[in-house]
Amino acid sequence: MSDSLERLYLAVLAARDLDPATSRTARLFQRGPSKMAKKLAEEAIEVVIDAVNGDTDAVVRESADLLYNLTVLWASAGVRPEDVWREMTRREDMLGIAEKLPKSTMKLPKVASPRVAARRPIVALEGRSARKRH
Ligand SMILES: N=c1c2ncn([C@@H]3O[C@H](COP(=O)(O)OP(=O)(O)OP(=O)(O)O)[C@@H](O)[C@H]3O)c2ncn1[C@@H]1O[C@H](COP(=O)(O)O)[C@@H](O)[C@H]1O
């Protein structure tokens, strides 16, 4: 999936300077971050509504629109896909792929040392938000 998003991101960058009359992306850049943010929020709501209605096909379609509008906003904000992948990897290394474990008073594991070959053990979800805030 990250390959698709990276290809889309490059296509969005390439379309930024096209004619807004024929390119939606160029038009979004012309109208600026607030319009991009509005479109992204609209798409997120459309995904939510379709999911609540159980319309799986619509969720797929609207998710593609959501990801498109997200990459446009990334480009406008100077965020690259690899910046996001790096943050996701940092969290995975630190927190592991958390599962909903029974509430426990387990001690929070120390913050991960730099990326290691073995992934960190699964940790309690309730500890994740505390650690993310630090
Ligand atoms: N991946 C997309 C892509 N996904 C969704 N969309 C557009 O985003 C819209 C999102 O749905 P909406 O219902 O919000 O749009 P709408 O119903 O037309 O309503 P408005 O947004 O006009 O108000 C879709 O109608 C598509 O036109 C996209 N437009 C462009 N791309 C890609 O972006 C690149 C640049 O394309 P251009 O913008 O056409 O130059 C190309 O690689 C394209 O494939």
pLDDT digit string, tens, across residues 80-114: 999 999 999 998 888 876 544 455 645 545 555 55
Calpha distance 94→69 (Å, rounded):
29
Q: Are 97 and 119 in contact (CB under 8 A)?
A: yes
Task: Identify residue 112 by its one-letter amino acid code.
Answer: A
The reply to whether ligand 1 has any atom less than 6 angstroms from the CB of 15 is: yes
ipTM for this model: 0.89
Nearest CA to ligand 1 atom 10: 65
Q: Do residue 73 and residue 114 come from a single domain?
A: no
Average pLDDT, the chain: 84
The reply to whether ligand 1 has any atom less than 6 angstroms from the CB of 65 is: yes
Task: Calculate how far, in angstroms, residue 63's C-alpha sits from the geometric centre of ligand 1.
Answer: 12
Kindly report whether the global pTM for this prediction surpasses the value 0.80: no
The reply to whether ligand 1 has any atom less than 6 angstroms from the CB of 58 is: no
Q: Are 37 and 73 in contact (CB under 8 A)?
A: yes
Number of domains the chain is built from:
2
Q: Do residue 55 and residue 96 come from a single domain?
A: no
Task: Identify residue 108 by its one-letter amino acid code.
Answer: L
Q: Do residue 48 and residue 96 come from a single domain?
A: no
Which residues is 99 bridged to in the sheet? 124
